[in-house]
Structure 1
Amino acid sequence: MANLLGIDVGTSGTKAIVVGDDGGILGTGTGHHEPLIPRGGWSEQPPDDWWDSTVSAISLACNDAGISPRTIDGIGLTGQMHGLVALDRSMTPIRPSMLWNDGRCEPQCHEVEHRLGLERLVALTGNRMLPGFTAPKLLWMREHEPAAFERIATVLLPKDWVRWRLSGAVATDVSDASGTAVFDCRRRRWSEELLAELDLPRSWWPDAAESPTVVATVNAEASDATGLPAGTPIVAGAGDQAASAVGTGLVREGTIGAALGTSGVTFAPSDEWRFTPDGTLHAFCAAVPDCWHLMGVMLSGAGSLDWFRAAFMPELGDGTEAFQEIEALAKSAPPGADGLLFLPYLSGERTPHSDVNARGAFIGLDRRHDRRHLARSVFEGVTHGLADCLDLVRDTGLQAEVVRLSGGGMKSPLWKQTCADLFRAPVATTTTTEGTAFGAVILAATGIGRFKDVPTACDAWIHETERIEPGPDARLLEDRHRVYQRLYPALKGIFPAIAENPEADR
């Protein structure tokens, strides 16, 4: 019987899961680490923290499963994307990793887009250069930390640092490499032309393998630290969004995903290369070999509801019951919230409007409205944003035969029905409860030969549990969506003045 280990290196902790031969989750464990916030807009993590939390998570997961780590037959890795792990010639971290949510390199992104032009940048990589991505962090280092920059010999991503600690192998995968801003996603290789333009050596970047490929094995030192058998195969793995897609069965065209987590993500697999000319959607390599995906990312998804709770109903606390009470409050208001609309730009926005100055707003308040309407408009406003992302996907020629929901928001019947109504498509939930780490396990199962390919593994281990069709309120919400789509263009010109907020500097 094969026991497989999935490791997910997250922002505030590392999760490990043990999965048995039938695809059932036998045990889970989480090791914690807290990012550092040295300044506003910065976010860092010493890479060794990830190793410590990984060792802890493996032990906890195996204990929870009631097995010895010695019975693990294969390992899949996934984790937060974009983080910069800059290493010297001895593979020692030069500085704390700058994480995906570190925005300090925005000026470097603007300079590159201005110098090279957006059209050329998208032609080279399929994507814009965004502050969260890896390469512009290196440009920031060159400008602000030149001595540290000169010591760089290798650049890794967070999960790949954990792989190095497990095996001593320097490797990455095509899906995670896609988020560096210097990877030619169409050709699934590093863009040597762009690296030359930016004067970043190709030698720094590890070879990028397809996600289910075995690229390393556990070494003796890691075996002593974790109890895992030396020689255990480790597959290339995937970035967190690509792994989550595998873990929820998003591996074929026509099945699209919407994740209602702190952020909101629309994920669309494609059997052929597709992109948006202005880079509005991320166009990345998928974890399924020779496939791609389009991805739209809203910065405030279900996190908007958490903001609503803290701002308007702090007495509820922050548990599951609080979420249920807010949902019940929202359901007591009519669909469309009596004309009230919510713009979910609480942290700026990335998709469909890349605008750091965008700000959230309630639009259309009148004397009829109370907390019920405010709550309903938050549910609907986030879904309006996801529907905008889905429309961008449709514009590339992909169709939504069904939209699979994941994330904490999928527990809400109201949110699920609102998604079906605004997406103009059936929505479904699946048996998956640990999508990201489970996707890493599926990649490992494929890599060690348990399945012939990733889609076959997904068919065996992932099944729909519920499907919801658009309901009688779909026409009303579609009418409101047309109004919603006019709000950002109307407010775009004034957002910079609002975001400036001189009062905050007093």
Structure 2
Amino acid sequence: MSVTLGIDIGTSGTKTLAIDEAGNVLGSSSAEYPCEHPRPGWSEQDPELWWEATKTTVAAVLKKAGLKPSDVAGVGLSGQMHGSVFLDEAGSVIRPALLWNDQRTAAECAEIERRAGGKEALIRMVANPALTGFTAPKLLWLRNHEPRSWDRVRQVLLPKDYIRYRLTGTFATEVSDASGTLLLDVAKRNWSRELLGLLEIDPDLLPPCYESFEVSGQVSALGASGTGLAEGTPVVGGGGDQAAGAVGNGIVRPGAVSATMGTSGVVFAHTHEVGFDPLGRLHRFCHAVPGAWHVMGVVLAAGGSLQWYRNQLAQAEIDAAKAKGIDPYFLLSDQAAKVGPGAEGLFFLPYLTGERTPHMNPDAKGAWVGLTVRHGRSHLVRSVMEGATYAMRDSLELIKEMGASIEQIRLSGGGARNPLWRQIQADIYGQDVHMLESTEGPAFGVALLAQVGAGGFSSVPEACDATIRLTECTKVDEKARAFYNRAYPIYRQLYDDLHGSFSAISSLVNSSDS
């Protein structure tokens, strides 16, 4: 039996699991940690939290699954994309990592476009526009605002690649995650020397770049002592959380599209061509499948919007759920089910941390629009679920506009585990949605990549065909679909109506901070 581990370094926690060559999950474990927001729009994390969570969860999985260290044939790594871990000459972390949802770098994005010769020239170099969440503007921000820290930087790593370093002592990354740095020539699948030169960034700050299934290092003696894995265990390139999740969902050929409603929301489609959109509305990254790429739309606060509602406005439900020994999301879903589609005219804009697809606007703000005295908590909850789903539909519409075939939509993330939210998604997308037998997400995907790297399968699609199985299908409610098709244009118009106010609000907040 060939056993591999998948480790996913998420924003709110780390998940580790073990699978066999049939895709059966032998054991899994999760560990949570906090995220710091020292100023509005800022998001940081201590990388040591990821390593402690990795050690805890790997040890727990080995114990739960009854595995000896020698039983593990390989390890795959996934994680939140775009984050920046800055290391000094000794390999020590210089400052907290800047995360994917950090919005402090608007000025640096403008600087990148200027240095590159404009937005279209930048897209021709790296297939994507400069966005505040990406890695490159974070490097410029550190150089511009914390020059003493910048002078100490000798290596920049993505979150999962920091764990690779702690496991193996090796600096490495892979093409899917590196695509989200804005520093990769996505077409050629290697670092863009051209853009690095224009930005005056030393290429030696960046690690070697592998394909996702390739072995990038072996567990070191230090990594083994920390985790319980055997020294010498191969560690493959892995994947950014979205590419890894797509592998875990079997999105490795055109036609099937994944819609992941996690903290962020992602719509992901496989493509055989790089392609370029001069407007840069969708991300175009290397896939974890060699020789393939993907288009991706991102909603920054999809499931995160409901999490925000739970944390800030649902203390009564949290207390009631604790007393009953259940998840408070069950109670929130029960509330939302009491009202019908559209929540009696209440719309929610889920731009709590700015927005990417399709607006690419770090100043976008969340809002309820349409409140009346008739609206209560049930309406508020349902409108949040619907607003996040409308935002996901924005990405689906763009993917269709660019000619991609959407024959099947596969759901994952927390929004897929909720029956009401599955139905809302089917009705707003206007298409039946499908669930998978495994709902383990990116950790499952990189465990499959480790199976390929360890020689269990000859290719990533072969591994997916052998292990991924569809289960239930949620059918469209035709009456609800018709309603949402009328409501969706109103939702789209609300952004245009409020766009100028979002910028004015940001200016007001910034002036009060100065």
**Shorter-chain TM-score: which interval?**
over 0.9
- Correspondence for 2:318: 317
Stretch moving more, 99-108 or 453-462:
99-108
Q: Aligned to 2:442, what secondary structure does the other structure show?
A: helix
Q: Aligned to 2:406, what secondary structure does the other structure show?
A: coil
Q: C-alpha distance in 2, partners of 1:309/1:97?
A: 26
Report percent identity of matched pairs: 46
- Residues 95 and 357 of structure 1: CA distance in aligned 2, closer, same or farther (over 3 Å): closer
- Residues 430 and 483 of structure 1: CA distance in aligned 2, closer, same or farther (over 3 Å): same
- Correspondence for 1:396: 402
User: Contact 1:401 / 1:426 at 8 angstroms: preserved in 2?
Assistant: no
Q: CA deviation at 1:231?
A: 1.9
- Correspondence for 1:198: 199
Q: C-alpha distance in 2, partners of 1:151/1:452?
A: 42
Q: C-alpha distance in 2, partners of 1:252/1:400?
A: 11
- Correspondence for 2:379: 373
- Residues 93 and 346 of structure 1: CA distance in aligned 2, closer, same or farther (over 3 Å): closer
User: Contact 1:342 / 1:380 at 8 angstroms: preserved in 2?
Assistant: yes
Q: CA deviation at 1:151?
A: 3.0
Count of equivalent residues: 506
Q: Aligned to 2:216, what secondary structure does the other structure show?
A: strand
Stretch moving more, 170-179 or 379-388:
379-388
- Residues 311 and 205 of structure 1: CA distance in aligned 2, closer, same or farther (over 3 Å): closer
- Correspondence for 1:110: 110
Q: C-alpha distance in 1, partners of 2:213/2:275?
A: 22
Deviations, residues 434-458 of structure 1 (Å, cap 9, x unaligned): 1111111000001111111111111
Q: CA deviation at 1:132?
A: 1.8
Q: Aligned to 1:494, what secondary structure does the other structure show?
A: helix
- Correspondence for 1:334: 340
Q: Is 1:232 the counterpart of 2:239 in the alignment?
A: no
- Residues 3 and 142 of structure 1: CA distance in aligned 2, closer, same or farther (over 3 Å): same
Stretch moving more, 32-41 or 83-92:
32-41
Deviations, residues 407-455 of structure 1 (Å, cap 9, x unaligned): 1111222221221222122211101121111111000001111111111
Stretch moving more, 13-22 or 451-460:
13-22
Q: C-alpha distance in 2, partners of 1:313/1:91?
A: 43
Q: CA deviation at 1:311?
A: 5.3
Tell me the amino acid that sits aligned with residue 477 of structure 1: Y
- Correspondence for 1:9: 9
Deviations, residues 126-151 of structure 1 (Å, cap 9, x unaligned): 11122222121211222222233233
Tell me the amino acid that sits aligned with residue 163 of structure 1: R
Tell me the amino acid that sits aligned with residue 130 of structure 1: L
Deviations, residues 320-363 of structure 1 (Å, cap 9, x unaligned): 55323332332232323333322222222221212222222333
Of the three residues 484, 489, 502, the one matched with 1:495 is 502
Of the three residues 439, 442, 467, the one matched with 1:436 is 442
Residue ranges of structure 1 left out of the alignment (5+ in a row): none
Q: CA deviation at 1:199?
A: 0.4
Of the three residues 438, 458, 461, the one matched with 1:455 is 461
User: Contact 1:142 / 1:149 at 8 angstroms: preserved in 2?
Assistant: yes
Tell me the amino acid that sits aligned with residue 178 of structure 2: A
Q: CA deviation at 1:202?
A: 1.6
Q: C-alpha distance in 1, partners of 2:296/2:209?
A: 20
Stretch moving more, 410-419 or 330-339:
330-339
Q: C-alpha distance in 1, partners of 2:208/2:79?
A: 18
- Correspondence for 2:305: 304
Of the three residues 409, 419, 442, the one matched with 2:415 is 409
Deviations, residues 273-297 of structure 1 (Å, cap 9, x unaligned): 1342221111111111111111111
Q: C-alpha distance in 1, partners of 2:47/2:53?
A: 10
Stretch moving more, 239-248 or 496-505:
496-505
- Correspondence for 2:94: 94
Stretch moving more, 371-380 or 125-134:
371-380
Tell me the amino acid that sits aligned with residue 435 of structure 2: T
Q: C-alpha distance in 1, partners of 2:311/2:37?
A: 22
Q: CA deviation at 1:89?
A: 3.4
Q: CA deviation at 1:11?
A: 2.5
TM-score (norm 1): 0.94
Q: Is 1:133 the counterpart of 2:134 in the alignment?
A: yes
Q: Is 1:54 the counterpart of 2:27 in the alignment?
A: no
Of the three residues 487, 496, 509, the one matched with 1:480 is 487
- Correspondence for 1:344: 350
- Correspondence for 1:77: 77
- Residues 43 and 356 of structure 1: CA distance in aligned 2, closer, same or farther (over 3 Å): closer
Pairing of 1:148-227 with structure 2 (within 5 A): 148-227=149-228
Q: C-alpha distance in 2, partners of 1:98/1:308?
A: 24
Stretch moving more, 463-472 or 370-379:
370-379
Q: C-alpha distance in 2, partners of 1:308/1:266?
A: 23
- Correspondence for 1:21: 21
Tell me the amino acid that sits aligned with residue 141 of structure 1: L
- Residues 188 and 366 of structure 1: CA distance in aligned 2, closer, same or farther (over 3 Å): same
- Residues 69 and 37 of structure 1: CA distance in aligned 2, closer, same or farther (over 3 Å): farther
Stretch moving more, 247-256 or 268-277:
268-277
- Residues 39 and 92 of structure 1: CA distance in aligned 2, closer, same or farther (over 3 Å): same
- Correspondence for 1:466: 472
Q: C-alpha distance in 2, partners of 1:346/1:37?
A: 13
Q: Aligned to 1:317, what secondary structure does the other structure show?
A: helix
User: Contact 2:99 / 2:133 at 8 angstroms: preserved in 1?
Assistant: yes
User: Contact 2:124 / 2:276 at 8 angstroms: preserved in 1?
Assistant: no
Q: Aligned to 1:401, what secondary structure does the other structure show?
A: strand
Q: C-alpha distance in 2, partners of 1:445/1:373?
A: 46
Q: C-alpha distance in 1, partners of 2:312/2:228?
A: 46
Q: C-alpha distance in 2, partners of 1:486/1:34?
A: 35
User: Contact 2:218 / 2:231 at 8 angstroms: preserved in 1?
Assistant: yes
Q: C-alpha distance in 2, partners of 1:310/1:145?
A: 33
Q: C-alpha distance in 1, partners of 2:16/2:421?
A: 29
Q: C-alpha distance in 2, partners of 1:142/1:356?
A: 21
- Residues 15 and 333 of structure 1: CA distance in aligned 2, closer, same or farther (over 3 Å): closer
Tell me the amino acid that sits aligned with residue 211 of structure 1: S
Q: Aligned to 2:344, what secondary structure does the other structure show?
A: helix
- Correspondence for 1:291: 292
User: Contact 1:275 / 1:294 at 8 angstroms: preserved in 2?
Assistant: no
- Residues 419 and 12 of structure 1: CA distance in aligned 2, closer, same or farther (over 3 Å): closer
- Residues 49 and 261 of structure 1: CA distance in aligned 2, closer, same or farther (over 3 Å): closer
CA RMSD of aligned residues (A): 2.3
Tell me the amino acid that sits aligned with residue 66 of structure 1: G
Residue ranges of structure 2 left out of the alignment (5+ in a row): none
Q: Aligned to 2:500, what secondary structure does the other structure show?
A: coil
Deviations, residues 167-203 of structure 1 (Å, cap 9, x unaligned): 2222110001011111111221111110000001122
